[in-house]
Amino acid sequence: MKRLFALCFALLLSTAAHARGYAIQHLEPGNWWVGMRHDRVELLVHGPGIAALAPRVAWDGVTVADVARVENPNYLFVTLAIAPTAKPGRLHIDFMDGERIAVRHPWRLDTREAGSAQRRGFDARDAIYLVTPDRFANADTGNDSAAGMFEHADRADPNGRHGGDIAGMRRHLDYIAGLGFTQLWPMPLLENNQPAYSYHGYAITDLYRTDPRLGSNEDVRALSREARRRGIGLVMDVVLNHIGSQHWWLRDPPTRDWINRADAFVETNHRRTTVQDPHAAPADRALFTDGWFVRSMPDLNQRNPHLARYLIQNTLWWIEYAGLSGIREDTFGYADADFLSAWAQAVLEEYPDFAMVGEEWSANPAIVAHWQHGKANPDGHVPHMPGMLDFPLQIALRSALVQPEGWDSGFIGLYETLANDFVYPDPGRLVVFAENHDSSRVLAQLDGDLALWKLAIAYIATTRGTPQFYYGSEVLLRGPKERNDGLLRADMPGGWRGDAADAFSGRGLTPQQRNAQAFVRALFNWRKRTPVLHDGALQHYAPVDGVYVYFRYDATAGKRGKTVMIALNKNAQPTALALGRFGDFIGTDSRARDALDGQPVVLGTSLLLPAKSATLLEIAPADGAQGE
């Protein structure tokens, strides 16, 4: 009876509030956790005329520490202080009109999972499987289109929504684990209620809501938990630089400076060098960071302190809520540099062993290195980002495979790019890749040459850093040679009922597809059980006549301990590799076996490398143990 009375009373208050024009349309975040280092949570409260009200909380251990009002009377920023002694539970926040409760809104304090702060992020022991969720698998056809969403499913349109969802990823976690991958990175899962091109996820319209055409927030958490049981961590794709043009902030922004250049669309110049360039014109630097990425993606002003706190808290919320093991941060250098430093620092203060990798799409290692934790920058910027995506190495690898071999072309470009590792504070924390959702697939660039494709995949699996692989390439999804996003992000065969072929079961695959899939499975499972590929040192030899050789070895055991030799032969014919040059690692007493099939390999004065191949050998002295 008391509960019924309380519900009736709350309803009466809500009705009265609406009569006076008071109503809360958004209150974010809607919960927090006891025991967080970040224990002062600033709530963004949005509703008509809400600034006229005063917030009040009656809950042991929770107090209103600060209330900030801005130029828009439809906003309040309410800071709650949460004591370590606070009890988890459902509470409410009253918004007072004098002595009268004008609006009562529910809120919640939760209990953290055991060991949450000590979670291990991904590192070089891992391998990442990148997925475009809308194109991977459709396990729930009931959410292909959703009420209130502008864009409905149209699988016939390469740039439309195809219906892939979180349920599809959950269904195929065993497949991903079986390939040897230990991390799953889906492109953004949050609401993208845009009229077109909404499938890719980078024009977010609600930072606390999963897109209903993919699933729910609870589905994200279930995906994370089920993945973890299979030894797979979940990496979230975070966007700090911009939002979608249909975000409700555009209709009622908290402040005039919430969105950069809000009065008229001005596109960024994409000149990422201006951040570090000592000669850059200030106007060019400002246009890079403050211009809109595209017309449908308004640029956020992270210099606004309330927005900065909102974005930091949103990241912490998702890590804690979804049990994430890592973050990939989109368009990293486009955001305000000081904010990026503060954001990464706040995440690592809460989760010291967490993993984050930023996207700085540049062929210049110095530009990428600027953002990595530990870099001493001439401009005084102090970065806290643990890792970065290794675009310089990706660009060099793809160029090396199509260029003719010469004094300054071909493999030498890849060799010299890796030689630039001295500019990085920690090159082992970089994420290496041959292709992703923004590049044409390697197979297309190589005109379908499967042998060279295998060489490229072998390289990312054996060089330093954490490898990232793009879904579907294991069954030779190709797409066009020139970048076309809708086509390169093709549907995974077997992800839709009625597909002629099924990558997950193997049904209907061609012999070439089966061969490629088996190669990826053998390669990454071998990498998974070979520690020297995770944290071993790397020594490479200058490429000669189309052959590039490097070794991964245990620096603590010396160069004649357990070692992996990688010999990349780009030539169209078998090539005899003289071994005398590699005496640091290969002696007369050394034994070798093929890393993938375990067959013994004779090491004489030379080694015959098959045409267009990656030869992967485990090497040990005659009296030493072979690889794991």
Residue 369's SS3 state is helix
pLDDT for 558 equals: 72
pLDDT for 562 equals: 85
Asked whether residue 383 is domain-assigned, the answer is: yes
Model confidence over 586-612: pLDDT tens digits? 988 889 999 999 999 999 999 999 999
Tokens representing 412 are: 């030498």
pLDDT at residue 4 greater than cutoff 60 = no
Q: Work out the average pLDDT over 205-217.
A: 98
φ, ψ (nearest 5 deg) of residue 256: -65, -25
Secondary structure, 3-state, 257-305: CCECCCCCCCECCCCHHHHCCCCCCHHHHHHHHHCECECCECEECCCCH
CB 55 within 8 A of CB 93: yes
Task: With CA atoms as reference, report the closest residue to 187 among 203, 208, 201.
Answer: 201
pLDDT at residue 420 greater than cutoff 80 = yes
Asked whether residue 259 is domain-assigned, the answer is: no
Number of structural domains in the chain: 3
Q: Give the rounded percent of residues in the chain with a pLDDT score beyond 70.
A: 96
Instruction: Tell me how far apart the alpha carbons of residues 239 and 243 are, in angstroms, rounded to a whole number.
Output: 8
Asked whether residue 264 is domain-assigned, the answer is: no
Residue 206's SS3 state is strand
Last residue of a domain, one of 479, 507, 532: 532
Considering the domain architecture, whether residues 499 and 602 belong to the same structural domain is answered as no
pLDDT at residue 12 greater than cutoff 90 = no
pLDDT band at 628 (very low <50, low <70, confident <90, very high): very low
Instruction: Tell me how far apart the alpha carbons of residues 517 and 65 are, in angstroms, rounded to a whole number.
Output: 56
How many CB atoms within 10 Å of residue 598? 11
Model confidence over 366-413: pLDDT tens digits? 999 999 999 999 999 999 999 999 999 999 999 999 999 999 999 999
Considering the domain architecture, whether residues 319 and 423 belong to the same structural domain is answered as yes
| 303 vs 624, residue with greater confidence | 303
**pTM score, whole prediction:** 0.95
pLDDT for 561 equals: 73
CB 158 within 8 A of CB 486: yes
List strand residue ranges (DSSP E) for 166-273, in order. Answer: 183-186, 190-191, 206-210, 233-239
pLDDT for 221 equals: 98
pLDDT for 37 equals: 97
Last residue of a domain, one of 110, 144, 161: 110
6-20, 241-255, 291-305: segment of lowest average pLDDT = 6-20
Residue 14's SS3 state is helix
Q: Work out the average pLDDT over 284-291.
A: 96
Domain of 398, CATH number, reads: 3.20.20.80
Judged on CB neighbours under 10 Å (0-12, 13-18, 19+), 447 is: exposed
354-358, 429-433, 462-466, 603-607: segment of lowest average pLDDT = 603-607
Q: Work out the average pLDDT over 427-446.
A: 98
Burial 259-290 (b: 16+ CB within 10 A, else e): bbbbeeeeebeeebbbbbeeeeeeeebbbbbb
Considering the domain architecture, whether residues 165 and 58 belong to the same structural domain is answered as no
pLDDT for 9 equals: 35
pLDDT at residue 7 greater than cutoff 70 = no
User: Cβ neighbours of residue 80 under 8 Å, at least 6 residues apart?
Assistant: 32, 40, 41, 43, 57, 62, 63, 64, 65
pLDDT at residue 3 greater than cutoff 80 = no
Look at strands 547-553 and 537-544 and give their pairing: antiparallel
Instruction: Tell me how far apart the alpha carbons of residues 86 and 84 are, in angstroms, rounded to a whole number.
Output: 6
Matching residue, tokens 């008391």: 2
Q: Work out the average pLDDT over 463-482.
A: 97
pLDDT for 20 equals: 62
Q: Which CB contacts under 8 angstroms, 24+ apart, belong to 96-99?
A: 96/53, 96/54, 96/55, 96/56, 97/20, 97/22, 97/52, 97/53
Considering the domain architecture, whether residues 442 and 509 belong to the same structural domain is answered as yes
| 10 vs 449, residue with greater confidence | 449
CB 82 within 8 A of CB 61: yes
pLDDT for 339 equals: 98
Asked whether residue 289 is domain-assigned, the answer is: no
pLDDT for 10 equals: 41
pLDDT band at 620 (very low <50, low <70, confident <90, very high): confident
Considering the domain architecture, whether residues 239 and 100 belong to the same structural domain is answered as no
Asked whether residue 341 is domain-assigned, the answer is: yes
Q: Work out the average pLDDT over 156-171.
A: 98
Asked whether residue 281 is domain-assigned, the answer is: no
CA 403 to chain CA mean position, Å: 30
How many CB atoms within 10 Å of residue 52? 15
pLDDT for 622 equals: 62
Model confidence over 182-195: pLDDT tens digits? 999 999 999 999 99
Q: Work out the average pLDDT over 477-484.
A: 96
Asked whether residue 137 is domain-assigned, the answer is: yes
Last residue of a domain, one of 110, 131, 164: 110
Burial 389-428 (b: 16+ CB within 10 A, else e): bbbbbbbbbbbbbebebeeeebbbbbbebbebbebbebbb
Model confidence over 319-364: pLDDT tens digits? 999 999 999 999 999 999 999 999 999 999 999 999 999 999 999 9
Q: Give the rounded percent of residues in the chain with a pLDDT score beyond 90.
A: 93
Domain of 600, CATH number, reads: 2.60.40.1180
Considering the domain architecture, whether residues 374 and 227 belong to the same structural domain is answered as yes
Average pLDDT, the chain: 95
* DSSP symbol at 385: B
Model confidence over 107-128: pLDDT tens digits? 999 999 999 999 999 999 999 9
pLDDT for 586 equals: 93
φ, ψ (nearest 5 deg) of residue 594: -65, 130
Considering the domain architecture, whether residues 332 and 463 belong to the same structural domain is answered as yes
Considering the domain architecture, whether residues 551 and 432 belong to the same structural domain is answered as no
Q: How far is CA 309 from CA 314, 386, 494, 522, in A?
A: 8, 21, 43, 45
CB 170 within 8 A of CB 163: no
Beta bridge partner(s), residue 553: 537, 563
Ranges of H-type helices in 152-216: 166-171, 173-178
Active-site residues, by number, are: 330, 359
DSSP H or E segment with residue 455: helix 450-462
Matching residue, tokens 């709650």: 80
pLDDT band at 19 (very low <50, low <70, confident <90, very high): very low
Q: Work out the average pLDDT over 256-268.
A: 95
pLDDT at residue 148 greater than cutoff 60 = yes
Beta bridge partner(s), residue 537: 553
Considering the domain architecture, whether residues 610 and 526 belong to the same structural domain is answered as no
Phi-psi region of 98 (alpha: psi -120 to 50; beta: other; left: phi over 0): left
DSSP H or E segment with residue 518: helix 511-528
pLDDT at residue 17 greater than cutoff 50 = no
DSSP H or E segment with residue 542: strand 537-544
pLDDT for 93 equals: 98
Q: How far is CA 158 from CA 17, 98, 208, 213, 525, in A?
A: 47, 56, 28, 17, 33
Considering the domain architecture, whether residues 514 and 399 belong to the same structural domain is answered as yes
Asked whether residue 265 is domain-assigned, the answer is: no
Domain of 63, CATH number, reads: 2.60.40.10
Considering the domain architecture, whether residues 471 and 581 belong to the same structural domain is answered as no
Range of the domain at 98: 2-110
pLDDT at residue 623 greater than cutoff 70 = no
Considering the domain architecture, whether residues 20 and 152 belong to the same structural domain is answered as no
